[in-house]
Amino acid sequence: MAKNKLTTGKVQSIISNLLIVEADGPVSQNEICYINLSGVKLMAEVIKINGNNAYVQVFESTRGLKIGNSVEFTGHMLEVTLGPGILSKNFDGLQNDLDKMEGVFLKRGDYTNPLEDDKLWEFKPLAKAGDKVAAGDWIGEVKENWIHHKTMVPFKFTGSFTIKSIVSEGKYTINDTIAVLSNEKNEDIPVAMAQKWPVRIPIRNYKSKPRPFKLMETGVRTMDILNPIVEGGTGFIPGPFGSGKTVLQHALAKQAEADLIVVAACGERANEVVEIFKEYPELDDPRTGRKLMERTTIIANTSNMPVAAREASVYTAMTISEYYRAMGLKVLLLADSTSRWAQALREMSNRMEELPGPDAFPMDLSAIISSFYARAGYVYLNNGKTGSVTFIGTVSPAGGNLKEPVTESTKKAARCFYGLSQQRADSKRYPAIDPIDSYSKYLEYTEFKEYINKNFSSDWIENVLYTKNILLRGKEAYEQINILGDDGVPINYHLNFWKSEVIDFVILQQDAFDEVDASTPIERQKYMLKSIINICKNDYKFDSFEEVNPYFKKIINFYKQMNYSEFQSDKFNGFKKELNATIEERKIA
Amino acid sequence: METQAFQKIYTKITQVTKATCSLSAPGISYEELAVINGRLAQVVKINKDIVTLQVFSGTEGIPTNAEVIFMGKPPTLKVSDELSGRIFNAYGKPIDGMPDIQGEEREIGSPSVNPVRREQPSELIATGIAGIDLNNTIVTGQKIPFFADPDQPFNQVMAMVALRAQADRIILGGMGMTNDDFLFYKNVFENAGASDRIVSFINTTENPSVERLLVPEMTLAAAEYFAVDKNEKVLVLLTDMTLYADALSIVSNRMDQIPSKDSMPGSLYSDLAKIYEKAVQFPSGGSITIIAVTTLSGGDITHAIPDNTGYITEGQLFLRKDSDIGKVIVDPFRSLSRLKQLVIGKQTREDHPQVMNAAIRLFADATNAKTKLQNGFDLSDYDERTLNFAKDYSNDLLAIDVNIEIDEMLNTGWRLFNKYFSPEEVGIKKEFVDKYWTKEEE
Ligand SMILES: Nc1ncnc2c1ncn2[C@@H]1O[C@H](COP(=O)(O)OP(=O)(O)OP(=O)(O)O)[C@@H](O)[C@H]1O
Ligand SMILES: [Mg+2]
């Protein structure tokens, strides 16, 4: 995209944030330009070109713009700056550092540096003069918080290079030249710690992307046990408003076993982001003892922030995730809500008067969503190390009806489906993930099964399927009881129903706001699952159906008290003893 | 918005539609206001030198030679302490018979607060209504609507909440309000001696519906003045947001935009979010809390207006009539306050979250029992008890005429648990059962 002279233009037409700009030179699709509004520059992106006319979407309010306002094209696409200092930051959708902005209110055209130009980092070379390298290869590292942040040969470089010189260990800024590479033509190319990358293009500097197979522990029982997500896997959480999508994502952000968490707050509430800003610096990461904020980066483009930037924000977040994956890290990317991103696409497509698809969404919505999900994955890097981007997005279906374009398109792209049910949410059975409709395709992966057999136990998957089966039978029994009446069915039906209730109350339901219950480490989950399976496999003696309900209520109550107690504490073991005694009361040996 | 002598007058309108007029006028800026034969209009599209204006009061009777004067600025509101106690129309003009106010002129529809500059909402707003304080506690800086059918007494409840909320300032934005309802609010506030704390922006059913589109931003511009400049705790009341959204759809349909669900514009979510996200807790202590009304049609919350609202607001308060007790209650199932966890069990008694959840769960069991009954089945002893519990719970806690302190709500909860259930059936953490269960036994 190199050009000798940068193109300029003049505004010809304004409808909301869509402008038509007459350009005086070459323009590329997705090129970034700035509109000059009496000294303030408003960032915009080319989304369609017709002759000399570039259609651009402005990432800001267009209030006050006039025909004839001048436009400068930049010659590059929407890019993010990648380098040490990204971690723990709060960015907007275009990677402006929100903390660097002055004043309480956002100002149009206030673009801030995402990283720190003058900060000195303790750089350690990982390569030496004479080494042959290619894009993405690690040539040095700095300590960023607690991670070993790799300096890589810029992803934009094509072909192979020889390191001509590299600086020795010491303090450097992100823009200092830390190495000089020479290309095949023997030209010198300086390399710094910071590099840029266009967000809409995936970073592909890895050797291979196998099917993911490693369980990623989340501490959320209904996920880990029933429908596990894997490192490098994809999942989505559709649910009507108020069903618990955000609470679930926050639980994952706090607890999931990942090195880094990137949270894309995409067109949702600002107060939910504030919760992260305010709480994560105080909360401990149970695995490392460090503060949660040390592993978290936030891309906040909340619902009241410009719509076009909202659309860009998911790409910004994905690019940052891919960057850290290239360093061999396990990244978890959470986006809330991908429906807002789709709506941003819809607003623009309507303004452009494109032929609308279902519900007025753009025709290519499905393709856009699948290519985004395809950027996640577990990879083998060129140096043999592994890294992953796991992506879980929420979907906010209109009217809570899953037969709508965003949910349907996402279903085709994501491998795990965590459907939140209104009914469960209404009866406060949180997390409201429907245990019957939800699925994880990974349970069927042979790679995953092998991993579980080796690292968990050989009967784990069998037990998971058994649990699912009990839930299904419980549901069927419940329906029969409702049709035929309590005394119109054999006692066995009541038993089946109540066994499924035990699983529901003890495994599925989990109080995200209770200190102990919020997160269940995998060892504890294994223990609980085994215990529950024993309960379900037992036979019990009842003389009438009326005895079943109070008996299992009692069992559930003991289990719940256990869930609220520290694992294996005296309290926990006390309840366990009472539980066992209760079981013995009616168990048929 | 007086016209000034040097302003150019255009008299050649080239196109008139139901909602818009177009004319050739160079040098006009986007979203600028104009006056067409005395009617206010706003620039919604510019193509070369053709400017399209949306006429707020409609284009009926506008001739092609109408006088068009551009005002060189977007809609503004003059802000100062003189706003207090005054009543304005959608354009910010006094309609209370008193003179214009003096003050700094500010553009409405101001930018958003930088999320990192927000404070976490944290101050509980007590309303005395257990359906709110116990089950759906609200806090300053929150945005929450009442979802109610038009025949529910939402205006009464909202006025009651506003008066009990102990806000420094109440800003009322009325959209498509009947004159009777407007007088109701006026009387209630006057009788409570609160008139001078209140600023009103009113579009009644007698005013053109598209004018409503200005009401929320006018209301919020005034709210921001008091919350930011004066560090006040401001409570904003917006009623009825359904009529606001209807006006949005009228405009977008007249402008030939492709409608999405329920013939609402595709941008409905963003349009509503821009308003509701003005709710904020500022670091300086000021806050804007928004309580709105979204009327439903036949309780349908899947319609695009309540649906998009629910995705934006921090919960909703659902009013419905409980036929068992013959009173209006705050429905514990469909109602929700997302911000309650910031205060319950922290600023309120420790057992608050568990009592709240347990009671709702038992109320849900009662609903199941009711279904059984309707299907003609025998009820178990437990079913009978849940039904009796539900009646008491509805009457003593959920009904909107309840007015008690939160501790008393919790005690009432324990009393009802004790009356109908065993501790195992209630399933609350043992330490709380130990502490509170026997206490209420007489
Ligand atoms: N695991 C949980 N434990 C306890 N309460 C929960 C849990 N999950 C959700 N809730 C309750 O449900 C409320 C709504 O949850 P949440 O905000 O996550 O909904 P959402 O699906 O993100 O809604 P929206 O689409 O409107 O953003 C929470 O404020 C909380 O009260
Ligand atoms: Mg949410």
**pLDDT tens digit string along B41-66?**
999 999 999 999 999 988 999 999 99
A399: chain B residues, CB-CB within 8 Å? 261, 302-304, 307
Domain containing residue B310: CATH number: 3.40.50.12240
| Partner B contacted by A143 (CB < 8 A) | no
Per-residue model confidence (pLDDT) at position A4: 65
Question: Is the per-residue pLDDT at B4 higher than 80?
Answer: no
Structure tokens at B24: 């050739």
The answer to whether B12 touches B65, Cβ cutoff 8 Å, is yes
Residue A488 burial (CB count, 10 A): 13
Specify the ligand 1 atom closest to the Cα of A247: 18
**CATH 2.40.10.170 residue ranges for chain A:** 8-77
A12: chain B residues, CB-CB within 8 Å? 47-48
Domain containing residue B36: CATH number: 2.40.30.20
Residues B41 and B120 grouped into a single domain? no
Domain boundary among B341, B363, B397: B341
Protein fold of A221-442 = Rossmann fold (3.40.50)
Ligand 2 centroid to residue A392 C-alpha, Å: 14
The answer to whether B189 touches B166, Cβ cutoff 8 Å, is no
The DSSP H or E segment spanning A440 is strand A439-440
The answer to whether B201 touches B213, Cβ cutoff 8 Å, is no
Residues B332 and B371 grouped into a single domain? no
Q: Could you write out the three-class secondary structure of B243-300?
A: HHHHHHHHHHHHCCCCECHHHCECCHHHHHHHHHCCCEECCCCCEEEEEEEEECCCCC
The answer to whether B412 touches B405, Cβ cutoff 8 Å, is no
Q: Is the dihedral of CA A38, A39, A45, A51 positive or negative?
A: positive
At residue B283, what is the residue type? P
Give the nearest chain B residue to A571 (CA atoms): B430
B311 lines ligand 1 (CB under 6 A): yes
Q: How far A15 CA sits from the closest chain B CA (Å)?
A: 5
B111: chain A residues, CB-CB within 8 Å? 61, 105-108
**pLDDT, tens digit, for every residue of B281-304?**
999 999 999 999 999 998 898 999
Residues B120 and B55 grouped into a single domain? no
Cα separation of the two ends of chain A: 77
For residue B300, what are the contacts with CB-CB under 8 A and spacing of at least 6?
A: B306
A244 lines ligand 1 (CB under 6 A): yes
The answer to whether B392 touches B385, Cβ cutoff 8 Å, is no
Cα separation of the two ends of chain B: 69
The answer to whether B306 touches B146, Cβ cutoff 8 Å, is no
Instruction: Say whether B112 and A67 touch across the interface (CB within 8 A).
Output: no
A242: chain B residues, CB-CB within 8 Å? 310, 315-316, 336, 338
Structure tokens at B197: 């704390």
**pLDDT, tens digit, for every residue of B244-276?**
999 999 888 777 778 888 889 988 999 999 999
How many A×B Cβ pairs under 8 Å?
199
Per-residue model confidence (pLDDT) at position B353: 94
Q: Is the dihedral of CA A450, A455, A458, A463 positive or negative?
A: negative
Residues B408 and B323 grouped into a single domain? no
Taking phi first (over 0 means left), then psi (-120 to 50 degrees means alpha), and beta for anything else, what does residue A394 get? Answer: beta
The answer to whether B335 touches B346, Cβ cutoff 8 Å, is no
Ligand nearest to the CA of A241: 1
Tell me whether strands A416-417 and A234-238 are parallel, antiparallel or unpaired: parallel
Mutate to test the interface with B, among A94, A269, A505 (most CBs of B within 10 A): A269
The answer to whether B147 touches B305, Cβ cutoff 8 Å, is no
Task: Count the residues in chain B.
Answer: 442
Calpha distance B429→A199 (Å, rounded): 49
**CATH 3.40.50.300 residue ranges for chain A:** 221-442
Compare CB distances from B115 to A65, A98, A267 and report the shortest one's residue.
Answer: A98
Confidence band (pLDDT; 50, 70, 90) for B440? very low
B351: chain A residues, CB-CB within 8 Å? none
**CATH 1.10.1140.10 residue ranges for chain A:** 460-588
The answer to whether A424 touches A432, Cβ cutoff 8 Å, is yes
For residue A118, what are the contacts with CB-CB under 8 A and spacing of at least 6?
A: A173
B260: chain A residues, CB-CB within 8 Å? 346, 359-360
Question: Is residue B50 a part of any domain in this protein?
Answer: yes
Residues B427 and B373 grouped into a single domain? yes
Compare CB distances from B30 to A14, A277, A560 and report the shortest one's residue.
Answer: A14
Radius of gyration of chain A (CA): 27
Ligand 2 centroid to residue A295 C-alpha, Å: 22
The answer to whether B1 touches B60, Cβ cutoff 8 Å, is no
A418 lines ligand 1 (CB under 6 A): no
Mutate to test the interface with A, among B258, B337, B343 (most CBs of A within 10 A): B258
Per the model's pLDDT, the better-predicted residue between A287 and B181 turns out to be: B181
Domain boundary among B70, B91, B120: B70
The domain containing residue B50 runs over which residues? 9-70
Calpha distance A284→A98 (Å, rounded): 24
The answer to whether B402 touches B128, Cβ cutoff 8 Å, is yes
Q: Is the dihedral of CA A132, A134, A137, A140 positive or negative?
A: positive
* Tens digits of pLDDT across chain A (589 residues): 444 688 999 999 999 899 999 999 999 999 999 999 999 999 999 999 999 999 999 999 999 999 999 999 999 999 999 999 999 999 999 999 999 999 999 999 999 999 999 999 999 999 999 999 999 999 999 999 889 999 999 999 999 999 999 999 999 999 999 999 999 999 999 999 999 999 999 999 999 999 999 999 999 999 999 999 999 999 999 999 999 999 999 999 999 999 999 999 999 999 999 999 899 999 988 788 899 999 999 999 999 998 889 999 999 999 999 999 999 999 999 999 999 999 999 988 888 888 889 988 999 999 999 999 999 999 999 999 999 999 999 999 988 899 999 999 999 999 999 999 998 998 889 999 999 999 999 999 999 999 999 999 999 999 999 999 999 999 999 999 988 888 889 999 999 999 999 999 999 999 998 999 999 999 999 999 999 999 999 999 999 998 999 999 999 999 999 999 999 999 999 999 999 999 999 998 7
The answer to whether B280 touches B243, Cβ cutoff 8 Å, is no
Compare CB distances from B377 to A302, A400, A486 and report the shortest one's residue.
Answer: A486
Question: Is the per-residue pLDDT at B441 higher than 80?
Answer: no
SS3 B139: strand
Q: What does the longest C-alpha to C-alpha distance in chain A come to? A: 90
At residue B299, what is the residue type? G
Instruction: Say whether B257 and A550 touch across the interface (CB within 8 A).
Output: no
Residues B334 and B229 grouped into a single domain? yes
Closest CA to ligand 1's atom 11: A244
Calpha distance A155→A329 (Å, rounded): 17
A255 lines ligand 1 (CB under 6 A): no
Residues B187 and B322 grouped into a single domain? yes
| Partner B contacted by A426 (CB < 8 A) | yes
Question: Is residue B370 a part of any domain in this protein?
Answer: yes
SS3 A301: strand
Residue whose entry in the numeric block shows the structure tokens 């996402």:
A410
Calpha distance A341→A345 (Å, rounded): 6
Residues B19 and B118 grouped into a single domain? no
- Cis peptide preceding B29, ω within 30 of 0: no
Residues B385 and B253 grouped into a single domain? no
Specify the ligand 1 atom closest to the Cα of A431: 1
Q: How far B85 CA sits from the closest chain A CA (Å)?
A: 28
Residues B92 and B34 grouped into a single domain? no
Question: Is residue B4 a part of any domain in this protein?
Answer: no
- Cis peptide preceding A431, ω within 30 of 0: yes
Query: How many distinct structural domains can be found in chain B?
Result: 3
Question: Is residue B383 a part of any domain in this protein?
Answer: yes
Q: Which of B382, B375, B317 is nearest to B137 (CA)?
A: B317
Calpha distance A243→A396 (Å, rounded): 10
Tell me the CATH architecture of domain A460-588: Orthogonal Bundle (1.10)
Instruction: Say whether B260 and A359 touch across the interface (CB within 8 A).
Output: yes
Q: Which of A75, A93, A72, A74 is nearest to A21 (CA)?
A: A72
Per-residue model confidence (pLDDT) at position B429: 86
Radius of gyration of chain B (CA): 25
Ligand 1 centroid to residue B336 C-alpha, Å: 9
Average pLDDT of chain B is: 92
CATH of the domain spanning A8-77: 2.40.10.170
Tell me the CATH architecture of domain A121-193: Beta Barrel (2.40)
Ligand nearest to the CA of B137: 1
Residues B285 and B321 grouped into a single domain? yes
Calpha distance B429→B442 (Å, rounded): 23
Per-residue model confidence (pLDDT) at position B435: 93
Instruction: Say whether A270 and B277 touch across the interface (CB within 8 A).
Output: yes
Domain boundary among B70, B94, B115: B70
At residue A578, what is the residue type? E
Query: Which residues crowd ion ligand 2, with CB under 5 Å?
Result: A 245-246
| Strand extents, DSSP E, B19-137 | 20-24, 33-36, 39-47, 50-55, 68-70, 76-79, 87-88, 104-107, 124-125
- What predicted TM-score, i.e. pTM, was given to this entire model? 0.94
Ligand 2 centroid to residue A450 C-alpha, Å: 36
A238 lines ligand 1 (CB under 6 A): no
Question: Is residue B3 a part of any domain in this protein?
Answer: no
Q: Which of A226, A233, A451, A431 is nearest to A332 (CA)?
A: A233
Question: Is residue B32 a part of any domain in this protein?
Answer: yes
Question: Is residue B2 a part of any domain in this protein?
Answer: no
Percent share of chain B, pLDDT over 70: 98
Closest CA to ligand 1's atom 25: A241
Closest CA to ligand 1's atom 10: A244
Q: What does the longest C-alpha to C-alpha distance in chain B come to? A: 84
| Partner B contacted by A585 (CB < 8 A) | no
Going by the DSSP 8-state scheme, the letter that residue A313 receives in this structure is: H
Q: Which of A209, A241, A260, A238 is nearest to A416 (CA)?
A: A238
φ/ψ of A356, rounded to 5, equals: -80, 150
Confidence band (pLDDT; 50, 70, 90) for B369? very high
A512 lines ligand 1 (CB under 6 A): yes
Residues B80 and B99 grouped into a single domain? yes
Q: Which long-range contacts (CB under 8 A, 24 or more apart) does B103-107 make?
A: B103/B78, B103/B79, B104/B78, B104/B79, B104/B80, B105/B76, B105/B77, B105/B78, B105/B79, B106/B76, B106/B77, B106/B78, B106/B79, B106/B221, B106/B225, B107/A63, B107/B73, B107/B74, B107/B75, B107/B76, B107/B221
Per-residue model confidence (pLDDT) at position B6: 61
Calpha distance A104→A107 (Å, rounded): 9
Per-residue model confidence (pLDDT) at position A3: 47
